Structures are given as structure tokens and as C-alpha cells.
């Protein structure tokens, strides 16, 4: 079974968290997630988060701190998801690889259908939001 390592960037601004909706393809079609992507060979999670957000959301970011690591088994692959609290240092979060994005307040976190591996991060973010 395929195993992938993915870095996820969690952005919190004005007491809301950024969420992005995946395209309508693959096992995770249309689910919501914290943006990021696969680690390349020899790349750290922090480096992957910075690179992926620049590629997918056209923004320069800084990693503020490590949040958590989630290991989850989907039907067709296993994922190790490393989440970081990040901040935008230049530009805006502009989607190109996703079909939608939203800034969600604490009470809105469960109004979207999250990918299963992201759910423990959602629970963590819920505690971080006022």
C-alpha cells in the first residue's frame, strides 16, 4: 500500500482558520483540508509547507510552530500528515489547486466535510480559536 508524507499549513487570522476544498478527483474528492502537499525527497515538513503554499496558493509564508502529526489509513493509501501553524508573510492565499476556500470561525468548523486525516487537526484548531 502506498504511504505518503504530507505537510499541512494551518492559518489563523482574525480568529478564523483557512480551509480549502479539494478538486473532484480521487479518494478525497471534494473534501475540505488544511492546504499543503507531499514532502519531496530530502525535504523537511517545514520546507514542504513553505514550497507547497507558494506553488498552490501564491503566498510566501513562515512556519510559526509545529502542531501535530497524524497517521491515517485511507482505503487506497496511508498518510502521515504533519501540521504546522503558519503565517502569511507576503501575498494572499489565492487558490489554484483547490475549487473553493473559506475562512471558518470556531462555530463554523463543522459546516464543511473535512478529510478524515484532517479531523484531529480541526479538533486542535477548535481549542486554539476563541
pLDDT score recorded for residue 98: 96
Average pLDDT of the residues in 74-79: 96
Instruction: Read off the pLDDT of residues 25-48 as tens digits, 9 standing for 90 and up.
Output: 999 999 999 999 999 999 999 999
Average pLDDT of the residues in 69-98: 97
- CB 13, CB 86: distance < 8 Å: no
pTM, two decimal places: 0.96
Domains recognised in the chain with CATH numbers: 2-128 (3.90.79.10)
Q: Which three cell numbers stand for residue 45?
A: 515538513
Q: Which three cell numbers stand for residue 36?
A: 499543503
Closest CA to 49 of 86, 101, 4, 99: 86
How far apart CA 41 and CA 13 sit, in angstroms, is 31
Average pLDDT of the residues in 11-17: 97
φ, ψ for residue 119 (rounded to 5)?
A: -60, -40
DSSP state of 90: E
CA 60 to chain centroid, in Å, comes to: 15
* 78 sits in which H/E element: strand 77-90
Average pLDDT of the residues in 79-84: 98
Tell me the β-bridge partners of 81.
Answer: 6, 70
DSSP 18-33: EEEEPPS-STTTT-EE
pLDDT score recorded for residue 89: 98
Cβ contacts of residue 38 below 8 Å, gap of 6+? 4, 5, 6, 48, 52
Average pLDDT of the residues in 41-64: 97
Amino acid at each position: 500500500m502506498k504511504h505518503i508524507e504530507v505537510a499541512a499549513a494551518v492559518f489563523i487570522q482574525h480568529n478564523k482558520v483557512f480551509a480549502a476544498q479539494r478538486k473532484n478527483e480521487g479518494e478525497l474528492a471534494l473534501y475540505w483540508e488544511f492546504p499543503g502537499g507531499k514532502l519531496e525527497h530530502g525535504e523537511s515538513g517545514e520546507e514542504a509547507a513553505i514550497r507547497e503554499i507558494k506553488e498552490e496558493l501564491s503566498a510566501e509564508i513562515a512556519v510559526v510552530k509545529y502542531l501535530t502529526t497524524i497517521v491515517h489509513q485511507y482505503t487506497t493509501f496511508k498518510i502521515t500528515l504533519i501540521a504546522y501553524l503558519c503565517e502569511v508573510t507576503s501575498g494572499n492565499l489565492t487558490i489554484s489547486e483547490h475549487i473553493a476556500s473559506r475562512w471558518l470561525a470556531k462555530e463554523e468548523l463543522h459546516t464543511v466535510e473535512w478529510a478524515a486525516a484532517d479531523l484531529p487537526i480541526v479538533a486542535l484548531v477548535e481549542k486554539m480559536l476563541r
